[in-house]
Structure 1
Amino acid sequence: MKRILLPAGGAILATGLLAAGLAGTAQATSDVASDPLAKTAAQAAETLDFWSKSDYAALKSAVAFNPDSLEVEKISRGGGYSADTKPGSSVPIGEEKKTAVKSQNVNLPKTIGKVFFEGRDGKLYWCSGTSIQSQYRNLVATAGHCVYDIAGNDEVVSRWVFVPGYYQGKVPYGLYVGKQAFTHYDFDVYEDFDRDYAFVTVYNGIGGTLNKPKLVDWTAYKAYEGEKFVKDVTVTEDEYKKGKLDPKTTDYYDVDPGSSDEATGPDFPGAVVDRFEVGKGVYDAAPVGRARGAKFGEPVVENVTREQFHAYRGPGTKTRDAAGNYIITHYYVQKWFKPGKVARFVRLDPFIVVHEVKDAGRLGDNVGGQGVAWNQAAGKVVRTFGYPYGANPDGSKPYTGVTPKWCYGKTASKVIKVPARKVEEHQSLKCAVTAGYDGGPWLANYSNSKRLGYVNGVTSLIVDVDGNKRYDTITSAIFDGETAAIYKSAAASWSGKLIP
């Protein structure tokens, strides 16, 4: 058991004992660190809206979390692992009597999925994770670096959610917003990767139809303070003249540049000009003056919200200033059109965006939950699961991250050391995967029929042991008695529901 020391002049971390509630397990109260992810219903609702709007566009745009320091090439072997307390475990949700399974095919557990979050760099990422047993059936296990910022800010990441069974924007069992993260004090404060695991409580899942456009009258549209938009619908002149349209919702346009009008140059009699957004390179190369393709004024600098910043897909540039403000700069050039000869009649339909959602229930009730085990002997057979996606050091990219993959084998008999992350004791397994697999569970005693086992590790680091520029080994923090105490604190924490 490694203990972190305070800087010179400080004292050794406290080692007071806490009754862990499991026979033979007592741990230091200072080991347990917890931080809120979305501590209020309002924060959770904002997180839900961020990921779900525009048909889960944010989920689809996220990439595998892949900081360079999590994929390493140099390791060394240490001695055997000595348990700090007696072995122990918590049974899976739905565990029944054991049955013999002869099939060699692997049935993927329903409990696994992707953890999505926003990093402190403003980018959207995902890791792997799994539902596990807890008193309120509301707990997810993943890597500590998939919850806490590892850039030295000592803060949790933003907008953390878990989506079990995620597949290309599909949310089959609901979306679960993280409420509170529990990890080891040494990881929270010192980023000690010998403690790279986290247990996160989640609110009840949310299902149903999210971000559904609803046609309303103009009174309701103006009174609505949420997301809304106006859609223009072309109608016939006869329909307009017959008075079937409410005059308050109808506009008449003589000229509609870019649709029915023919493009031309500025010298054509009566030609009209409109602006057209382009990228910075095109704008910089454009001439100045009155000409087709010339600059249309100065660039427009727009301060936007974080949501607008990430949703923007135009050709302009997106930046953040020193104060952390989100900025989009738009660049426009001129487009000239002949004057319109055909009138366009337009009906303006007002829409508001509503959520027809329902409480999807507790995570463990929907997908079950793996058991948790600690102080297991080295050399134990495990199955690991996750969503690999990143590239190998040689640039090859064998995985898409779309579907989960698995590895099977015995953990190494000796601990592994990784100097790049100051790891002194990790368990390891031969497994040729890449970034995105991190956070996924290591399951001992896995039942192929029940799709349940016991989590005794989560993927932390991805290592190239033989130096051939392809990752071949994964590592995990060793689940010991201190892990058990942290897990138990999380497993006894209530989270609740977002929809009454």
Structure 2
Amino acid sequence: MRRKLLACGFALCLLTTAAPAAHAQAADVVSAPLVFGVPAAQQAVAYWLADGGAKLKTATPLGQPYDIQGERVSEPIVPSGKPIQFSPMAPMAEDEPPQTAGKVYFVGGDHQPHWCSGVSVYSQYRNLVATAAHCVYDMVSAPATNYHWVFIPGPATDGTAPFGIYAGKQVFTHYDFTQYRDPDRDVAFVNVYSGVVPSDDGTLTTNGRLGEIVGMQGLAYNRTINETTAPAVNLFGYPAGPHPDGTRPYSGQNLERSAGQVSATNLTSPSADQLVGVESPFTGEGSLGSAWLQDYQDEQGLGYLNGITVGVSDTDDDGRYDTGVSPYFDTVLNSVYRAAASYWTGRIT
């Protein structure tokens, strides 16, 4: 979406337009704390573990923030910059397969517990989660963030966290999302503290940094999209909601996978011009924040993140969702990622 123009004096406008492009991109990155210090992070974890993890079991998947109407089209998308990618990494324990996908849990602006999908991605300090920005920011009162935000990779169906609980510390996203709710920039990177696991007496023990425990997916930006070379992606997420016809093929309890070709989209709603689509049967609730992985290798369980589900659409009006949509991963979103990828967190115990 084109940014809204703001009124300003001549001197201020002149300084803004004269700034180098790299500085402008850096200025577009917005960072905000999810907690103010370790005690607040401990409280976030305690909230979800209380009463035998009752809130984990009763949390509901966040609903779609956008009414997405439109279709996938064959028009090419030519990136404005050179291709950029960051390689994935396996977990430190060689006998453990990557478990990068999981759920992000939080208390929203309605003061109720919710969850979305999320994924562990490469960063310098092995501490980064990618998800939809509206799964971090409250869409009603943004730029306020949701609270008690944690990431649980590979959650068990009984509500436990076999790979630990990772409390969110800092979020990085784009200015256009926090100020204008721009779906073209609906991607967030959250730095998490090292994970903790509860002991029998209720105390928390550190089990390690996220990327070392579960692995980290790579990232890819500025990839060309057209009819002949459109990249195939594998989607990983936890869909849970109904189709428009009321059927519920997914429970939200298990990690689901679908695959399809990425294409440009022609949307009548919402107002956006940089969303891409992929053929996918995932329903919206629960799958928001799902990872789109290109060049995914089953043997390694790793690929390159090149999309995040921010909504789904029924493009042929048959009562079944058939398309997932994501912001196009371009140089601008890469600048958000690079700011988050070098942020250190630490431990809460």
Confirm or deny a common fold (TM above 0.5).
Answer: yes
- Does residue 405 (structure 1) correspond to residue 256 (structure 2)? The answer is yes
How far 1:30 sits from its partner (Å)?
1.8
Contact conserved, 1:5 with 1:12, CA < 8 A, in 2?
no
Q: Alpha-carbon deviations, 1:374-415, whole Å to 9, x = none?
A: 001211011111000001111111110000111112212xx2
Aligned partners of 2:217, 2:269: CA distance in 1, in Å? Answer: 31
- Does residue 206 (structure 1) correspond to residue 196 (structure 2)? The answer is yes
- Does residue 421 (structure 1) correspond to residue 240 (structure 2)? The answer is no
Aligned partners of 2:131, 2:172: CA distance in 1, in Å? Answer: 11
Structure 1 counterpart of 2:94: none
Contact conserved, 1:78 with 1:417, CA < 8 A, in 2?
no
Aligned partners of 2:156, 2:176: CA distance in 1, in Å? Answer: 34
- Does residue 464 (structure 1) correspond to residue 311 (structure 2)? The answer is no
Q: Mark the runs of 5 or more structure 1 residues left unpaired by the alignment.
A: 20-25, 96-107, 213-354
Task: Give the SS at the match of 1:455.
Answer: strand
TM-score computed with the length of structure 2 as normaliser: 0.90
Task: Give the SS at the match of 1:131.
Answer: strand
| 1:337-356 map, 5 Å | 355-356=202-203
Structure 2 counterpart of 1:85: 81
Pair 1:401–1:36, CA change in 2 (3 A): same
Q: Alpha-carbon deviations, 1:393-438, whole Å to 9, x = none?
A: 11111110000111112212xx214343212121111001112111
Q: Alpha-carbon deviations, 1:213-258, whole Å to 9, x = none?
A: xxxxxxxxxxxxxxxxxxxxxxxxxxxxxxxxxxxxxxxxxxxxxx
Structure 1 counterpart of 2:338: 488
Task: Give the SS at the match of 1:474.
Answer: strand
Pair 1:14–1:123, CA change in 2 (3 A): farther
Contact conserved, 2:118 with 2:130, CA < 8 A, in 1?
yes
Aligned partners of 2:197, 2:111: CA distance in 1, in Å? Answer: 26
Structure 1 counterpart of 2:143: 154
How far 1:361 sits from its partner (Å)?
0.7
Aligned partners of 2:183, 2:43: CA distance in 1, in Å? Answer: 31
Task: Give the SS at the match of 1:423.
Answer: coil
**Which residue, 466, 474, 498 being the options, matches 2:324?**
474
Structure 2 counterpart of 1:60: 57
Q: Alpha-carbon deviations, 1:8-43, whole Å to 9, x = none?
A: 568699564476xxxxxx861222111110131111
Contact conserved, 2:29 with 2:173, CA < 8 A, in 1?
yes
Pair 1:141–1:153, CA change in 2 (3 A): closer
Pair 1:404–1:81, CA change in 2 (3 A): same
Aligned partners of 1:464, 1:185: CA distance in 2, in Å? Answer: 29
Aligned partners of 1:405, 1:14: CA distance in 2, in Å? Answer: 45
What letter corresponds to residue 476 of structure 1 in structure 2?
S
| 1:12-51 map, 5 Å | 14=16, 16-17=19-20, 28-51=25-48
Q: Alpha-carbon deviations, 1:70-110, whole Å to 9, x = none?
A: 35344575842231210010111239xxxxxxxxxxxx951
Pair 1:194–1:49, CA change in 2 (3 A): same
Structure 2 counterpart of 1:363: 210
TM-score computed with the length of structure 1 as normaliser: 0.64
Pair 1:13–1:167, CA change in 2 (3 A): farther
Structure 2 counterpart of 1:167: 156
What letter corresponds to residue 368 of structure 1 in structure 2?
G
Structure 2 counterpart of 1:255: none
How far 1:162 sits from its partner (Å)?
0.3
Say which one has the larger Rg.
1
Pair 1:494–1:17, CA change in 2 (3 A): farther
| 1:285-296 map, 5 Å | none
**Which residue, 348, 372, 390 being the options, matches 2:241?**
390
Aligned partners of 1:173, 1:13: CA distance in 2, in Å? Answer: 49
How far 1:50 sits from its partner (Å)?
0.4
Aligned partners of 2:137, 2:267: CA distance in 1, in Å? Answer: 20
Contact conserved, 1:27 with 1:481, CA < 8 A, in 2?
no
How far 1:170 sits from its partner (Å)?
1.5
What letter corresponds to residue 124 of structure 2 in structure 1?
Q
Aligned partners of 1:12, 1:154: CA distance in 2, in Å? Answer: 27
| 1:234-245 map, 5 Å | none
How far 1:453 sits from its partner (Å)?
0.4
Task: Give the SS at the match of 1:28.
Answer: helix
How far 1:208 sits from its partner (Å)?
3.0
What letter corresponds to residue 374 of structure 1 in structure 2?
Y
Q: Mark the runs of 5 or more structure 2 residues left unpaired by the alignment.
A: 92-96
Structure 2 counterpart of 1:431: 280
**Which residue, 258, 269, 291 being the options, matches 1:441?**
291
What letter corresponds to residue 418 of structure 1 in structure 2?
L
Structure 2 counterpart of 1:307: none
What letter corresponds to residue 221 of structure 2 in structure 1?
W
What letter corresponds to residue 388 of structure 1 in structure 2?
P
Contact conserved, 2:142 with 2:179, CA < 8 A, in 1?
no
Q: Give the percent of matched residue pairs that are identical in Structure 1 and Structure 2.
A: 38
How far 1:6 sits from its partner (Å)?
2.9
- Does residue 140 (structure 1) correspond to residue 129 (structure 2)? The answer is yes
Cα RMSD (Å): 2.2
Pair 1:43–1:13, CA change in 2 (3 A): farther
